Amino acid sequence: MFESCKKILIIRLSSLGDVLLTTPLIRSIKKNYPSLEIDFIVRRDFKDVLINNPYLTKLFYFERNDNQNKRLSEELKSRSYDLVIDLQNNFRSRKIYLGIRAKKLRFKKQTIKKLFLVYLKINRLKHLPPIPHRYAETIPDFVLDDEGLDLISTNQSSPLFSSSDKWIGFCPGSKHFTKKWLADYFIQLGYKLNEEGYKIAVFGGAEDEGICKLIFENTPISINLCYGNNLLQTAADMKKCIAVVCNDSGLMHTACAVKVPVAAIFGSTVKEFGFIPYKNKNLILENNSLTCRPCSHIGKDKCPKKHFKCMMEITPELVFEKLKQLINS
């Protein structure tokens, strides 16, 4: 596929986790074809994921401004690509490379199989690999290397400077309500960890400021490291933690990219969708006794059954015991 290529374009516009999960593919292509030029298009909001990636030749930013994107399309046409790999595969991404004379490969989203699982509870996804491998399957006969995710930060210092402190990261945010473990449960877990000598570092993006502040203010020995959307600083701080407790979210993948063990709590979503911790020490906590899971492949703003048992029944005591096992394993 790549033997006759000099320059390729990869497209994945969003979101944080999805873009991080493309990094094994970028790295594996470049390792196998060192002379190949690899360009990438991402939404500017998520540029920090790839801005320091050494395997990319050029990074383009997709804007919300049509005039800017018209200029982007013209520049892309001038780059003379041999291949376009569309890992977003929607109307917006297809519009970007309209007019580019190159072979196109598009990611298979498995939409029908997702709908079967969500609405009929027929699981035709169980034998599919994690998302990085599904991305790689877009390219015929291509195999990924055995390494994990990449997130290259520079020399950001961290307030978590003492090597004698035992920091546990909390990432309580997620875009959708049904993917969020309860704030009160994070606080209860924080108390238990404080009693065991651990300190809590609370992480989040701009949309998580409220819940991060709430947990910080109600957890005695903690620090609030919710910086808005400064991903590279968050990554630098996460490296100082011995483990991270998180939801099924972009920060779960961020923790994996900096090689910190994760305890991931899955509510309305399930592992079969493929967005699991990739090649990193982890445990996934989920309530497998419910017939209503998954209720969505991306999450919902409220529990359709109004009981929210998928999260309510994953107690702080359970997470505390499992987290200790993860740390000590």
Positions of the chain with pLDDT under 70: 161-163
φ/ψ of residue 3, rounded to 5: -60, -35
Give me the pLDDT at residue 4, please. Answer: 92
Give me the pLDDT at residue 318, please. Answer: 98
| C-alpha to C-alpha distances, 168 to 109, 131, 190, 242, 283, nearest whole angstrom | 35, 27, 9, 6, 15
Give me the pLDDT at residue 279, please. Answer: 98
Give me the pLDDT at residue 80, please. Answer: 95
Q: Which domains does the chain have, with CATH numbers?
A: 7-136 (3.40.50.2000), 167-328 (3.40.50.2000)
Give me the pLDDT at residue 68, please. Answer: 80
Give me the pLDDT at residue 228, please. Answer: 83
Give me the pLDDT at residue 162, please. Answer: 66
Give me the pLDDT at residue 158, please. Answer: 84
Give me the pLDDT at residue 17, please. Answer: 97
Give me the pLDDT at residue 163, please. Answer: 63
Q: What would the pLDDT profile of 130-184 be if each residue is shown by its tens digit?
A: 999 999 999 999 999 999 999 998 777 888 866 678 999 999 999 999 999 999 9
φ/ψ of residue 63, rounded to 5: -110, 170
pTM, full prediction: 0.96
Give me the pLDDT at residue 324, please. Answer: 97
Count how many Cα atoms sit within 13 Å of the Cα of residue 276 in the half-sphere of its side chain: 19
Give me the pLDDT at residue 18, please. Answer: 98
Give me the pLDDT at residue 317, please. Answer: 98
Give me the pLDDT at residue 159, please. Answer: 84
